A and B are shown apart, each in its own frame.
Chain A
Amino acid sequence: MYRKNDNGQAMDPAEVTPCGAARPSSEPVLEMSFEVGHYDFAAAGEAASKIKQVLRKLGMAPDVVRRAAVAAYEAEMNLVIHSVGGSILLHVDTEKVTLVSCDEGPGMPDISLAMKEGYSTAPDEIREMGFGAGMGLPNMKRCSDSFSIESEVGRGTTVTASIRIA
């Protein structure tokens, strides 16, 4: 078992993910956690890039690596743009790659609207950077074999996406 955070420090196996979401219950082959800061565009994408490298090193099929990397990148950009900051947990077991993205707010008032392709609350300055297509969550779902969102205004959002290892 290999378990560490992005700073390479050992993680307590019993703890929840860094922002409080429930950790997947299966025994991990590998687990890593990445902190993502609000509006930290300089570092945005680094977690997804690292996740892609790690999965490739594990010898995963290229399609699994790509889908996980895209889902992780969309999750990361959502945290950067829309949250007050949060974290992404990468949890790999013998059957699947699971990504748990969670934040501490602001939370989404209407999940079904957020899942609608083309719907975005991103401000103009974000759209000018090429984001805000309203495809982030739908893209994550499209890349995943199972996908769920829990959100509460004032508390935060947890998005869980799993990709089966072929």
Chain B
Amino acid sequence: MKLADIRDLLGAEVLVGEDKLSTVEIDMACGSDLISDVLAFCHDNTLLCTGLVTAQIVRTAEIAGLSTIIFVRGKRPEESVIEMGRAAGIPMLATDLPLFETCGLLFRAGVGGIRLCADGSSRSGEI
């Protein structure tokens, strides 16, 4: 699913990554407000839906190699945090929808979930 389609689906505002709307492809996502859960559950090229808007969530995305961050519940990070995302090349979107609904819409549209594996690797969930 293209980032542009996700923006339309969620009625989201694009904070970073206008130039990547038609190139970034999303097929896996996770939703969490806990950083260690993100590090445990997500793997490369995963989209993260979160209510966290701190600098640490951008750092987490960078470390975990996340594809995109969607801020939920109408939250908007400060300009310095948006700038961090821009510097790291991580697209950022913001939606007024709550976390559950954001995840639900994405799942229904065919975006899969990530499961935690005992050996530390993650795999895509099946719908």
Contact = CB atoms under 8 A, between A and B. Distances in A.
Nearest to B117: A142
B105 interface: no
A133 B63 CA distance: 17
Size range of the chain B interface in the assembly: 20 to 34
Given A41-B56, A44-B56, A66 B65 contact: yes
B22 interface: no
Size range of the chain A interface in the assembly: 20 to 34
Contacts of B33: 130
Interface in B37-68: 37, 39-40, 43-44, 50, 52, 54-57, 59-60, 62-65
B86 to A, nearest CB: 16
Contacts of A37: none
Contacts of A86: none
Contacts of A44: 56, 59
Contacts of A132: 34
A129 interface: yes
